[in-house]
């Protein structure tokens, strides 16, 4: 089994008949999915998604893949192929198209509708081409074939990529629900046909590779959702992903059956469900969905709200309701239904919301206490089934944290794939397929690119560390007037503290330390204000650490007398 080499270096030239695969996101993480295929001097990108920030990344909106390795080669990109319409697969497209706006975007009807609406907000009109299962498309040296796969969003596709280097099958996100709500099952006959042709590299969804058995069918959630609507004494507030059309359909059906009117809350929810309804993917009974003003006049037991924020996102509707700063106020007796999974890293934010609603007196129904969500990803049994069906020569697990990638790799080996043909890569790993053999040949930059408001890439790990320090330790500003000739303080420095707990006279003990550092600087002939500020910052930081066991941010200001 091959593992990623961590040391970046000069990349070897790709063999003329070889295929290079570089994942710029999605390996070792849930999100930011983006894979670049290179052959015959051209690049094909599959997916371009975002990763949502965790609590230790304050102020960040989303996290993008790093485009550095392809920035000088954007003219070589023949297209971006989108497997489905989830944010972790399409959210980065607007930022990629900012750098070259005419890159063709390929996807299914619903996927393109979602990305076109998103691009409209960025004032970008894309070049698109719609495809469906069974379609074939030639893009430069890449021959593509699209296959239907079942996922937690309609119109998901797997893509087979044929080149002179061999045949690659990329599953995208998928599962094998035999009773899907839209009657659209994963094309296992197509998988088997490609297996007979000979799949040289199989890129497989790893998210549930460590979960035994088969993923539960979406249809099995209907009784639990129905119970919520049948027994809720007052309003029902449902939170889900803004793109989870199947789950919203189940909620709409239950609301209609039990005589509740529905309103959508949250910009992305309103937009996406409007698109899904207009395209026929969401069936909405006449008169069921109403305006919020109409809903406010109805009795509580006839009300259902469907909102965003299922992952505890700070600015989403659900979090704002929990914080009591939303126009919709949750009250005692309301029922909050979290119809979504727990994405790793979001647990604390979600449990905080659950606790806040419980404190208010609401009944919170979630995956932990009711069968109200199933995963959209294949479990171990389904992955094994696919390996036995496809019989790939080489395997590269994708879309998952390290434990998921390793579990998926182990499954591949157990089904007969030679260990040397299973590669566990990480973001930025360069994987070459040459003469039917796969190997890791190098590494390219693939760090986090932070979107902070309207700024892309401006926030760094260093600036995030400063934000965490400000939030956790506070800040002390020290204003010192220093005699330019003697290097001594003209008067006692002023200390301005925010978020740093201290007594009024606490800073008196820091003054001698500052004086000592200034005296040493004068003896050494140091007069530069910037250097003096650094010395003062060091003295005050050491004092705060020893006296208060805190490491606040120190902002020194030296004024020449």
The 3-state secondary structure of 422-486, one letter per residue: EEECCCCEEEEEECCEEEEEEECCCCCEEEECCEECCCCHHHHHHHHHHHHCCEEEEEEEECCCC
Has residue 170 got a pLDDT over 70? yes
Residues 250, 227: Cα–Cα separation, whole Å: 12
Other CB atoms within a 10 A radius of the CB of residue 236 amount to 28
Contact in structure between 49 and 32 (CB atoms under 8 Å):
yes
Indicate whether 392 and 510 sit together in one domain. no
The whole-number pLDDT of residue 505 equals 74
Say if 466 falls within a structural domain. Answer: no
Give me the mean pLDDT over the 83-97 stretch: 95
Contact in structure between 390 and 416 (CB atoms under 8 Å):
no
Say if 256 falls within a structural domain. Answer: yes
Pull the structure tokens for residue 479.
Answer: 């204003």
Beta strand pairing call for 475-482 and 455-456? unpaired
Has residue 448 got a pLDDT over 90? no
Q: From 419, 334, 302, 429, select the one nearest 11 (Cα to Cα).
A: 429
Last residue of a domain, one of 422, 456, 490: 456
Residue 62 pLDDT grade (very low, low, confident, very high; cuts 50, 70, 90):
confident
Three-class SS of residue 77?
strand
Q: Where are the alpha helices (H) located in 258-365, listed in sequence order?
A: 267-278, 292-295, 317-322, 347-360
Other CB atoms within a 10 A radius of the CB of residue 10 amount to 6
Say if 484 falls within a structural domain. Answer: yes
CA 26, 31, 36, 37 dihedral sign is positive
Has residue 311 got a pLDDT over 50? yes
Say if 304 falls within a structural domain. Answer: yes
The whole-number pLDDT of residue 504 equals 65
Q: From 198, 129, 179, 125, select the one nearest 157 (Cα to Cα).
A: 129
The whole-number pLDDT of residue 346 equals 66
Indicate whether 360 and 379 sit together in one domain. no
Q: SS3 letters for 380-399? A: HHHHHHHHHHHCCCCEEEEC
Domain carrying residue 178: 2-214+375-456
Indicate whether 9 and 110 sit together in one domain. yes
Indicate whether 228 and 206 sit together in one domain. no
CATH number at residue 254: 3.40.50.10710
pLDDT digits (tens, 9 = 90+) for 485-496: 788 888 888 888
Q: Which residues contact residue 276 at a Cβ distance below 8 angstroms, ignoring those fewer than 6 apart?
A: 110, 154, 245, 248, 282
Indicate whether 312 and 199 sit together in one domain. no
For 157-171, 224-238, 521-535, which range has the lowest pLDDT when averaged over its residues? 521-535
The whole-number pLDDT of residue 458 equals 65
Give me the mean pLDDT over the 280-309 stretch: 92
Indicate whether 225 and 210 sit together in one domain. no
The whole-number pLDDT of residue 123 equals 94
Residues 529, 389: Cα–Cα separation, whole Å: 71
Q: Which residues contact residue 296 at a Cβ distance below 8 angstroms, ignoring those fewer than 6 apart?
A: none
Indicate whether 207 and 224 sit together in one domain. no
Report phi then psi at 373, rounded to 5.
-155, 140
Report which listed range, 18-22, 270-274, 359-363, 546-550, is most confident. 18-22
Q: Which residues pair with 35 in a beta bridge?
A: 23, 46
Three-class SS of residue 506?
helix
The whole-number pLDDT of residue 345 equals 62
Q: Say what percent of the chain tops pLDDT 70.
A: 92
Has residue 192 got a pLDDT over 90? yes
Instruction: Output the CA torsion 534→536→540→543 (10° steps).
Output: 100
pLDDT digits (tens, 9 = 90+) for 325-354: 888 889 999 999 988 776 666 677 788 888
Q: Alpha carbon of 171 to those of 221, 249, 460: distances in Å?
A: 25, 25, 33
Please, what is the average pLDDT of the chain? 89
CATH number at residue 107: 3.60.15.10
CATH number at residue 519: 3.10.20.580
Q: From 532, 537, 456, 462, select the one nearest 61 (Cα to Cα).
A: 456
Last residue of a domain, one of 396, 421, 456: 456
Give me the mean pLDDT over the 349-369 stretch: 87
The residue with tokens 């707990």 is 501
Indicate whether 435 and 494 sit together in one domain. no
Say if 546 falls within a structural domain. Answer: yes
Complete edge-to-edge strand list for the sheet that includes strand 77-81 = 128-130, 105-107, 77-81, 42-46, 34-39, 19-25, 429-434, 437-443
Contact in structure between 394 and 417 (CB atoms under 8 Å):
yes
The whole-number pLDDT of residue 6 equals 46
Enter the DSSP assignment of 101. T
Say if 370 falls within a structural domain. Answer: no
The residue with tokens 């590669």 is 423
Give me the mean pLDDT over the 424-439 stretch: 96
Q: SS3 letters for 313-342? A: CCCCHHHHHHCCCCCCCCCCCCEEEECCCC
Pull the structure tokens for residue 80.
Answer: 């971006």
For 303-317, 318-332, 527-541, which range has the lowest pLDDT when averaged over its residues? 303-317
pLDDT digits (tens, 9 = 90+) for 231-286: 999 999 998 888 889 899 999 999 999 999 999 998 889 999 999 999 999 999 99
Indicate whether 228 and 315 sit together in one domain. yes
Residue 48 pLDDT grade (very low, low, confident, very high; cuts 50, 70, 90):
very high
Q: How many domains does the chain have?
A: 3
Please give the residue that has the higher pLDDT: either 432 or 366: 432
Has residue 8 got a pLDDT over 50? no
Indicate whether 143 and 186 sit together in one domain. yes
Has residue 4 got a pLDDT over 60? no
Residues 412, 295: Cα–Cα separation, whole Å: 52
The whole-number pLDDT of residue 157 equals 98
Contact in structure between 83 and 108 (CB atoms under 8 Å):
no
Last residue of a domain, one of 365, 400, 417: 365
Three-class SS of residue 32?
coil
Indicate whether 197 and 69 sit together in one domain. yes
Has residue 398 got a pLDDT over 50? yes
Say if 468 falls within a structural domain. Answer: no
Indicate whether 423 and 294 sit together in one domain. no
Pull the structure tokens for residue 410.
Answer: 């182990």
Contact in structure between 474 and 464 (CB atoms under 8 Å):
no
The whole-number pLDDT of residue 450 equals 80
Enter the DSSP assignment of 154. T
Three-class SS of residue 20?
strand
Say if 462 falls within a structural domain. Answer: no
Residue 200 pLDDT grade (very low, low, confident, very high; cuts 50, 70, 90):
very high
């Amino acid at each position: 089994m091959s593992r990623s080499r961590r040391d970046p270096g000069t990349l070897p030239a790709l063999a003329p008949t070889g295929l290079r695969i570089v994942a710029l996101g999605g390996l070792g993480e849930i999100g930011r999915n983006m894979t670049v295929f290179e052959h015959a001097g051209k690049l094909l990108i599959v997916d371009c998604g975002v990763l949502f920030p965790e609590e230790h990344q304050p102020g960040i909106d989303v996290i993008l893949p790093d485009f550095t390795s392809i920035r000088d080669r954007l003219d070589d990109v023949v297209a971006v192929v989108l497997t489905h319409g989830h944010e972790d697969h399409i959210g980065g497209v607007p930022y990629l198209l900012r750098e070259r706006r005419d890159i063709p975007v390929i996807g299914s009807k619903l996927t393109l509708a979602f990305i076109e609406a998103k691009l409209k907000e960025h004032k970008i009109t894309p070049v698109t081409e719609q495809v469906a299962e069974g379609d074939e498309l030639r893009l430069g040296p890449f021959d593509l074939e699209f296959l239907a796969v079942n996922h937690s969003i309609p119109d998901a596709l797997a893509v087979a990529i044929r080149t002179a280097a061999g045949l690659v099958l990329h599953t995208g996100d998928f599962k094998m629900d035999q009773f899907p709500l839209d009657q659209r099952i994963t094309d296992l006959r197509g998988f088997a046909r490609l297996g007979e042709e000979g799949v040289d590299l199989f890129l497989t969804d790893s998210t549930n590779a460590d979960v035994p058995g088969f993923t539960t069918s979406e249809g099995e959630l209907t009784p639990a959702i129905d119970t919520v609507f049948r027994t809720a004494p007052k309003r029902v507030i449902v939170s889900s992903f803004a793109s989870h059309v199947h789950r919203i359909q189940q909620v709409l059906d239950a609301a209609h059956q039990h005589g509740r009117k529905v309103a959508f809350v949250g910009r992305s929810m309103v937009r996406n469900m409007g698109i899904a309804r207009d395209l026929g993917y969401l069936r909405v009974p006449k008169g069921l969905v109403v305006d919020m003003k109409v809903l406010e006049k109805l009795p509580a037991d006839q009300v259902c709200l469907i909102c965003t924020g299922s992952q505890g996102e700070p600015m989403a509707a659900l979090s704002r309701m929990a914080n009591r700063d939303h126009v919709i106020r949750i009250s005692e007796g309301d029922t909050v239904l979290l119809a979504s999974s727990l994405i790793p890293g979001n647990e604390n934010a979600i449990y905080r919301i659950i606790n806040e609603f419980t404190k208010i007196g609401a009944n919170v129904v979630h995956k932990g206490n009711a069968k109200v969500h199933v995963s959209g990803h294949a479990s171990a049994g389904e992955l094994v089934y696919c390996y036995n069906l496809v019989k790939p020569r080489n395997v590269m697990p994708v879309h998952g944290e390290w434990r998921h990638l390793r579990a998926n790799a182990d499954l591949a080996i157990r089904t007969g794939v030679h260990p040397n043909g299973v590669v566990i890569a990480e973001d930025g790993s360069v994987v070459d397929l040459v003469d039917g053999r796969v190997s890791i040949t190098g590494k390219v930059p693939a760090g986090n690119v932070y979107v902070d408001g309207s700024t892309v890439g401006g926030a760094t790990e260093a600036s995030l560390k400063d934000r965490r320090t400000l939030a956790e330790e506070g800040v002390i500003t020290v204003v010192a007037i220093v005699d330019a000739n003697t290097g001594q303080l003209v008067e006692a420095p002023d200390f301005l503290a925010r978020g740093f707990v201290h007594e009024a006279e606490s800073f008196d003990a820091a003054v001698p330390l500052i004086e000592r550092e200034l005296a040493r600087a004068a003896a050494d002939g140091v007069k530069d204000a910037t250097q003096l500020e650094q010395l003062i910052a060091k003295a005050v930081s050491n004092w705060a650490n020893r006296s208060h066991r805190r490491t606040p941010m120190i902002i020194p200001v030296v004024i020449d007398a």
